[in-house]
Amino acid sequence: MFIAHRPPFTFMCALLLAATVSTGAAESALSAPDASATGVSASASSDIIELLEQTGALLEWDEFTRTGVLWSGLDSISFAAGESIAVANFDELLRVEPIIYDRGRLRVPRETFSVLADRLGRRADPVRLRPVKAIVIDPGHGGRDPGTFRSLTVDGETITYYEKDIVLEMGRYLKAELSKLLDGPEIHLTRESDVYLPLKERTEFAHALRDDPLDNVLFVSLHVNASPLPWTDARGVEIYYLPATQRRQVLEEEIAATLEPEVSSILNDLKEEEYTVESVLMGKAVLDAIARDLPDTPIERGVRVANFFVVREARMPSILIETGFINNRQDLELLATSEYRRELAAAIASGIAAYVRDFEQLQ
């Protein structure tokens, strides 16, 4: 289940409002009543998240107009909170008991739940409109490059924790979790042991996975943060992507060679912008999953821009995840344990998987 925030639903809103006018409805989607105003009790309805989990559908929701689209493969159902008309596949009107907006949640009456569940029923083989061929997990540093490190003394024993070891174990967990959550993409690690790997080889490995210039590959680099101070109050996860102002040659050489220079330049800019947007969406999906699954892990540092080598040289949607501050005592105590590394990897995998499902089904 993934609640997507993609382009606005102007066309869908127009259909719904037209349907509302044609049926003489008294209220518009912009003034949808809440549950108390309609008399629909919580016991007679279900949270829309239950519908998403049962059917595997995706929800695109516009908070301003209080309109939404439920997607299952190529099938869609558009609705406005509080309205008794829904639109299937943008051309078929359905009469339903209204979905209710209740204090920031969407509640689906039982009869409507049954109708929607039947129309959106989970597919055995989901349609992958834009299949992701591979996801590359890059545990930072390795071998003679330990990354950042700090020591903890527990019961009189001092143990030094190295970034290269923390992210390698987390990367292995992340690969295992993604392999369970996603059937389509290949899942790769740039390094599977404590070896030194030059930065250029990491991104070249990802590029080499493309059999076709248009194959979709994602790049996720794992690191541990550190501030210049011996110890810091800064803590939590933050995610980096390449700034939009950084321009590269991302259009495949095989394609660029067949085009006029001006056309090639325009297409290159469009592809660069696509990679920027997709990187931000992937980063946000990861932070949303961490906030949901590990609520005590701070994510307020957010999704940021930085000109790191691996996100700059990876010509694909790419993010670098700083999994915590090694020189923050709370973060270090967590990162020192395999249990937390596994939990954080599982949350990251959940976010990436949600992003991938959304990416693959977007037309």
Whether this prediction's pTM lies above 0.85 is answered by no
Among the listed residues 200, 173, 197, the one whose alpha carbon sits nearest the alpha carbon of residue 187: 173
Which of 134, 59, 140 lies closest to 354 in space, CA to CA? 59
* Residue where a domain terminates, one of 119, 142, 169: 119
The residue segments making up the domain with residue 189 are 132-361
Torsion angle of C-alpha atoms 291, 293, 298, 301, degrees rounded to 10 = -40
Q: How many domains does the chain have?
A: 2
| Span 159-204, pLDDT tens digits | 999 999 999 999 999 999 999 999 889 999 999 999 999 999 999 9
Structure tokens at 321: 């995840």
Q: Tens place of pLDDT for every residue, the chain, 363 residues?
A: 344 444 333 444 444 444 443 433 333 333 444 544 445 555 588 999 889 888 888 899 988 899 999 988 778 999 999 999 999 988 889 999 999 998 888 999 999 999 999 888 755 455 677 899 999 999 999 999 999 999 988 788 999 999 999 999 999 999 999 999 998 899 999 999 999 999 999 999 999 999 988 899 999 999 999 999 999 999 999 999 998 887 787 877 777 778 888 887 888 888 888 899 999 999 999 999 999 999 999 999 999 999 999 999 999 999 999 999 999 999 999 999 999 999 999 999 999 999 998 898 765
- On whether residue 127 sits in a domain, the answer given is no
Judge if 141 and 78 occupy the same domain: no
Q: Quick: pLDDT tens for 24-63.
A: 333 333 344 454 444 555 558 899 988 988 888 889 998 8
Residue 244 domain flag: yes
Domain termination site, one of 77, 97, 119: 119
Same domain, yes or no: 20 and 138: no
Considering the domain architecture, whether residues 154 and 115 belong to the same structural domain is answered as: no
Phi, psi of 318 (to 5 degrees): -150, 145
Domain end: 74, 93, 119, which one?
119
User: Is 124 a domain residue?
Assistant: no
158 alpha carbon, distance to own chain's centre: 38
Residue 141 and residue 202 in one domain: yes
Do 172 and 77 lie in one domain? The reply is no
Q: CATH number, domain at 248?
A: 3.40.630.40
Contact in structure between 134 and 209 (CB atoms under 8 Å): yes
Cβ-based neighbours of 301, under 8 Å, separated by 6 or more: 234, 236, 237, 238
